[in-house]
Amino acid sequence: MAVKNKNLKFRIDVSAYRLLGRELITDRITALFELVKNAYDANANKVDVIFHSVNTNTGESKISITDDGLGMTLDDLRNKWMVIGTSDKRRSRVSPPPYNRKVVGKKGVGRFAVDKLGSKLLLKTTQKGSDKLICLETDWSYYAELEEKQLKIDFERNPDQEQFFTDIENRYWVEASDVETQGTSLEISLISECWTETDLKRASTELAKLISPNHASKFPLKIFLQSNEFEVYRKKEIVSLGIQYSTIEASLNFNFKTGKQEILRAENGELTKVLVDKRACGYIKLHIYYFNASAKAKFKKAFPSESIDGIKVYRDGLIATPFAEHAVSQNEQKDLLGIDKRRWSYFFDRVGTRDLLGWVEISDELNPEIVDATNRQNFVDNEAWRELRVFVIEQLRQIEGCIIQRRDTQKEQVDSELKGAGDDLSTIRKELNRLGKLAPEKMRKTLGVLEKKVAKTQASVNKGLKDKINLETEKKQQESLMFSLISLQTFSSTLAHITRTIIGRIKRTSEFFRDRFPDTQYNDVFKRGAHKIFFEMERLSGAVDFMLKYAKSDSSIEPVDVKITLENLFNNIHDYSFKQENIQTELIVKKELILNYNQTAFEDIIENLIDNSVKALVCNRETRRIKCECNIENDKLIILFSDNGCGIKEADKFRIFDVFYTTTADEGGAGMGLFIIKTRMEAFQGSIELVESIFKPSGATFKLSFSFKK
Amino acid sequence: MKSQSTIIIIDDQVQDEELLIVIKENYADVIVYNSSTEAIKNLSRHYGHRIIILLDLSFPTNQINGHQVLERIRESNTLIPVIIFSAVNENESGFSDLINNSAFGFLKRDASLKQILDMLQKAEFFLKTSIGGALEEWIKTHSEEELDRPYLVSVDGNNFTLKELLSEVRLQTEVGQSFSKSLSKLTIDLLARGRENLND
């Protein structure tokens, strides 16, 4: 059958108004945002958001949004406002001079936000120099009616004559206008929901977040909220919230010329800045404020309607759409940056979104790859957005480090003060005793009582100090136990895997023996089988020995034979995985070395390094190598541990020792390894650092230094 | 008598001499692939035979893992019974995709020879009795010449030879499924009319 070429075109069903408005823009405060954003793009200086009799829904209820922006001509209205997804704003990314605002509406659907607020819209617009005020009326309820009608089953209906979205005509007319005025006003009636005072308060708080307080502009946009019903909102200017009372604050910038980005470093309870290469997310400006419990209380008292609600992303000074989605309660607020998702928050002194206020400043020009997802709920999941999240979390980690350092210093101070108090009391007691001997009879008795009281107080102070120290030691032990358990978990699952494989081999070999022996044709098989059983049993014994060491106490310091320990790890314990992954190992220990250390901790460190190297070697398709070399330098054991795997990116160098920082999540990395090593090393006055790879240009080399002293 | 099914073992570390001996005693053909990547490359050439696959899950990281092997097999063939033979904990998340990709069974790495043979036997029984298997058997009774001749014309006017039909059935396409369905309907109909002997 011959088929003739014909053409078909897309048509749009009337229900599209719902998809674009009510369903794309999920709540009414977001809808307000969208409309105010349009005003921003039109170079408005001022937007009035007026709520008229909205507390109860009557025929009088109206919401209007009026700006003094550039306005539209009839042509604009026809070719821009009435065109869905109009490309105009995408073509010119900057609003007309002298404002040069980065335009924020890009999808050309913001105007459908109106439908979320009410079903009837009266738009009036005029430009400077024109004496015409153009008025357009859109009645979304008409679209709804039509949709309803089309949904009904009607056998008589003729699909070809049905009206589509674009067939519906909206009435417009022209009124007279002052030549000098300009702007656009949207009057929305037949409102869909009532607005209470709480709703207005929310609208006001949320609108305040629209513009970043840190983005300096010569032409700011002022937003006013008005209501005829609520006294507070007679005419309220919406101002961005002032930051006061924060415990820690930090601002990061970048240097475009040198290609460097600032990041935070915590040192001795202070935050400093370090310059690193630009990250994959592009240049970032960040303002971040941390509030501890008492700071939060002060803040809440000073700004009762504001809340400390985390870090938000602003693009060119204006809040990025995914963050503009308003949530009714803080619990429902989306944690797009993943701040609260981090595990064990109570354990590792995590800060959460409720302790933080922050502004991440990005721009269209410098961070073009960070793009809103079409549903406006999130950003497109790409490398840039992921890297931005990592960047923010990385800074938070430094703040956390700073908090811990400060607390530790404070703790030491308290300890020494307590001890000082105890000493003072002892002096007073001695003094009282001496005075007692000199004083007359009558006074001696009183002095004796006093001395006893002082003695008692001294005892309590000393006991308190001791209890405190005990408690801290206990807490430290718990933490260290936690770390061993985590590595134990990974270890035991590997061990179970190996054990099961070994048991299977032994079982089947002996089963064969049981069922077939004697049988001359299998004599050789029987003999090989016996050898195999013996060999596999030896391997099992080794695994059990290793497992048992974990059961031993964790804190004792004992002589560790470096050579034997390393040989055991390389040639027995990990031999299996090295062979499986085709990894060539080279272990250089010149002579026998005894280190006063903790056996398990030492093994843990090397285990974790081996583990990391195996993961890093995945990408290497050539000869895979791991080299471990021991040397002695000035009373110190230096271990250089290297592999020729994928190496560590320049950008990652500062953060590889952070807990839960991982680049090998796909290979099962949890970001614990290097953190465990670092804490273990530091606990014994050792250190670990990343040095130049001996396998350069690829690979990585870690330099570990252990002290021989006890 | 040895079974005519082919057992394909995909495992990077079969060191079990005894296992191979007992399987070879029971099955005419045993093929071992030590590399999963190699297996995937060559597997389709065995699809013409009645095969059962014994599959390990963990392979060196530069090869594709067992889950992916199963996925690849299922992309082109939904009839072959694949038995997972692994030391991986069954509760691990990856196990769910074994269900999604319908693994025939699961053998722990420490299973005995008997358990392994039993599982293979079950798989063979399944092959012989399932509609797909029976259909495959029946299609295979035709001569080469018959196989290349158009055999069936589908509703939308396409011609299918028996060979093409077999591939449609294996891939479980719409045509393959509807053909299998009609065939079982016909079988029931014939049985209901008292014509027990299907060769009549």
Indicate the residue of B89, B109, B114 with minimum beta-carbon distance to A504: B109
> What are the residues facing A261 on neighbouring strands?
A254, A276
Categorize the per-residue pLDDT at A148 as very low, low, confident or very high, splitting at 50, 70 and 90: confident
Residue of B88, B110, B118 to mutate, testing the A interface (most A Cβ within 10 Å of its Cβ): B110
Q: Does B156 touch chain A (CB under 8 A)?
A: no
pLDDT band at A198 (very low <50, low <70, confident <90, very high): confident
What distance in Å separates the CA atoms of residue A258 and residue A549, rounded to the nearest whole number?
Answer: 52
Q: Which residues contact B197 (CB under 8 A, 6 or more apart)?
A: none
CA B136/CA B170 separation, integer angstroms: 9
Mean pLDDT of chain A: 80
Is residue A171 within 8 Å of A136, Cβ to Cβ? yes
Strands A583-589 and A624-633 come out as parallel
Peptide bond into A97 cis (omega under 30): no
The domain at B3-129 falls in which architecture?
3-Layer(aba) Sandwich (3.40)
Question: Are B59 and B34 in contact, with CB atoms under 8 Å apart?
Answer: no
What per-residue confidence (pLDDT) applies to B93? Answer: 46
Contacts of A503 in chain B (CB under 8 A): 109-110
Percent of chain A with pLDDT over 70: 82
The arithmetic mean of pLDDT across residues B150-179, rounded, is: 75
Report, in angstroms and rounded to the nearest whole number, the Rg of chain A calculated over CA atoms. Answer: 36
Is the ipTM higher than 0.95? The answer is: no
Q: Tell me the shortest Cα–Cα distance from B108 to chain A, in angstroms.
A: 8
Residue A530, SS3 per DSSP: helix
Question: What is B142-185 written as a DSSP string?
Answer: S-HHHHHSEEEE-TTS-EEEHHHHHHHHHHT-HHHHHHHHHHHH
pLDDT in tens, A329-376: 555 556 777 776 554 333 456 787 888 888 899 988 889 888 877 666
| pLDDT, tens only, A681-690 | 776 778 888 8
**How far apart (Å, rounded) are the C-alpha atoms in residues A111 and A20?**
9
- Kindly determine whether residue B108 and residue A497, on different chains, have CB atoms separated by under 8 Å: no
What are the residue ranges of CATH 3.40.50.2300 in chain B? Answer: 3-129
Interacting residues of A126 by C-beta distance below 8 A, sequence separation 6+: A71, A132, A133, A134, A177, A181, A182, A183
Flag whether residue A489 sits within 8 Å of chain B, measured between CB atoms.
no
State how far the alpha carbon of A678 is from the alpha carbons of A381, A402, A519, A606, in Å. 32, 17, 59, 12
Q: What mean pLDDT is predicted for residues A151-174? A: 72
Of the partner residues B16, B61, B88, the one whose CB lies closest to the CB of residue A618? B61
Q: How confident is the model at residue A665 (pLDDT cuts 50, 70, 90)?
A: very low
Q: Is A236 helix (H, G, I), strand (E, B) or coil?
A: strand
- Cβ distance A512 to B21 less than 8 Å, yes or no, reads yes
Contact A511 B18 (CB under 8 A): yes
Name the 3-class secondary structure at A54. Answer: coil
The CA distance from B24 to the nearest CA of chain A, in Å, is 14
**Angle ∠(A593,A598,A600) on CA atoms, nearest 5:** 105
Q: Report pLDDT for A526.
A: 92
Q: Which of A493, A497, A525 sits opposite B21 (nearest CB)?
A: A525
Q: Does B19 touch chain A (CB under 8 A)?
A: yes
- Cα distance between residue A628 and residue A587, in whole Å: 5
Contacts of A519 (CB under 8 A, 6+ apart): none
**Are A680 and A604 a contacting pair, CB within 8 Å?**
yes
Beta strands in chain B (DSSP E): 3-10, 27-33, 51-55, 82-86, 105-108, 150-153, 159-161
Instruction: Point out the residue among B22, B62, B110 whose CB comes nearest to the CB of A504.
Output: B110
Helix or strand (DSSP H, E) at A255: strand A254-255
Cα first-last separation, chain B: 29
Of the candidates A401, A398, A420, which has an alpha carbon nearest to the alpha carbon of residue A409?
Answer: A401
> Which residues of chain A are within 8 Å of residue B35 when distances are taken between CB atoms?
none
| Token pair 């009904």: residue | A152
Shortest CA gap B48–chain A (Å): 32
Q: Look up residue B46 and give its amino acid.
A: H
Q: Is B16 on the interface with A (CB under 8 A)?
A: yes
Q: Residue A263 in contact with residue A274, Cβ under 8 Å?
A: yes
Looking up tokens 């000098």 gives: A180
Name the residue of chain B whose CA is nearest to A614's CA.
B61
Question: Which residue in A495, A508, A510 has the most chain B C-beta atoms within 10 A of its own C-beta, making it the best mutation to test that interface?
Answer: A508
Question: Hey, how many other C-beta atoms are within 10 angstroms of the C-beta on A188?
Answer: 25
On whether the CB atoms of residues A160 and A9 are closer than 8 A, the answer is no
Residue reference for tokens 């040895």: B2
- Alpha-carbon distance values, B46 to A534, B7, B53, B105, B179 (Å): 38, 10, 11, 20, 23
Q: How far apart are CA A234 and CA A225, in angstroms?
A: 8
Q: Tell me what pLDDT residue A544 has.
A: 75
pLDDT at A701: 93
Cβ-nearest to A508 among B13, B16, B88: B16
Q: Inspect the interface and report whether the beta carbons of A511 and B112 lie closer than 8 Å.
A: yes
CA distance A675 to A307: 34
Q: How many CA atoms lie within 13 A of B63 on its CB side?
A: 24
Whole-number pLDDT of residue A346 = 38
Cα dihedral sign, B188-B192-B196-B197: negative
Choice between B6 and A81, residue whose per-residue pLDDT is larger? B6
pLDDT tier at A92 (50, 70, 90 boundaries)? low
Average the pLDDT over B72-94 and give the result. Answer: 75
DSSP bridge partners of A139:
A120
Cα–Cα distance between B10 and A465 in angstroms, integer?
65
Q: What are the chain A neighbours of B113 within 8 Å (beta carbons)? A: 508, 511-512, 515
pLDDT of residue A547: 66
List, as one string, the DSSP characters of A437-451: HHS-HHHHHHHHHHH
- Is residue B113 within 8 Å of residue A508, measured between CB atoms? yes
Point out which residues pair with A184 in neighbouring strands: A67, A125
109-128 of B, contacting A, C-beta below 8 A: 109-114, 116
Selecting from A500, A522, A581 the residue whose C-beta is nearest the C-beta of B110 gives A500
Output the pTM of the full model. 0.48
Digit-coded pLDDT (tens) for B24-49: 999 989 999 988 888 988 888 887 67
pLDDT digits (tens, 9 = 90+) for A94-121: 788 888 777 766 566 677 778 888 889 9
pLDDT at B14: 66
What is the structure's pLDDT at A345? 36
CB-closest option in A496, A504, A580 to B60:
A580
Cβ contact A289:A243 at 8 Å: yes
Q: Is the distance from CB of A209 to CB of A33 less than 8 angstroms?
A: no
Query: Quick one: average pLDDT of A169-185?
Result: 89
Q: Would you tell me which residues 178-197 of chain B have a C-beta closer than 8 angstroms to some C-beta of chain A? A: none
Residue with tokens 């680049």: A663
| Residue A282 to residue A315: CA distance in whole angstroms | 13
Give which of A586, A709, A564 is closest to A641, Cα–Cα: A586
Contact B179, B169 (CB under 8 A): yes
